[in-house]
Amino acid sequence: MHREPFAVLAVVVCLLMVSGSVFAHHGDVDYERDRLTTVEGTVTRFDLINPHGRLYFNVKDENGNVQEWYAELSAINTMRRLGWNKVTLKLGDPFTATGHRSKDGSNEMRLFKAVLANGTEIPARRLR
């Protein structure tokens, strides 16, 4: 019995199983790519994790009501290259977030940059 055809078949099957996840990764079509939104907030949670970092923060609207916001960050390696680490933002830190807001109008964005209270600007996306 020839083992080569079975080995080739096994490799092909494995590649097909893995290739689906490569194409499953989402893009930025859910966000307003042609417009940036800027809000001032206070950090409630900051997770520098894979596959994407997460930043949760509260923003006061024009009437003083607190709104919960969420910002999706890049992958941890990208964020580190851009100058981020796990203590860049801490619970209670005020900052300004600029990003591409969700098209559905929810309080969600893909963070483009953050400006810390001391004026330090930290990019959150690589320019293409």
Sorted by sequence, the CB contacts under 8 Å of residue 117 that are 6+ apart come out as: 93, 94, 95
Set out the domains of the chain in order of their start, with CATH numbers.
37-123 (2.40.50.140)
Task: Out of 10-14, 103-107, 112-116, pick the least confident.
Answer: 10-14
Return phi, psi of residue 16, to 5°. -65, -35
The model's pLDDT over 43-100, given as tens digits with 9 standing for 90+, comes to 999 999 888 999 999 999 999 999 999 999 999 999 999 999 999 999 999 999 999 9
Is the pLDDT at 23 greater than 70? The verdict is no
Pairs from 4-9 (Cβ < 8 Å, separation ≥ 24): none
pTM for this one? 0.76
Q: Where are the alpha helices (DSSP H) in 1-128?
A: 4-24, 76-81
Q: Give which of 90, 85, 94 is closest to 53, Cα–Cα.
A: 85
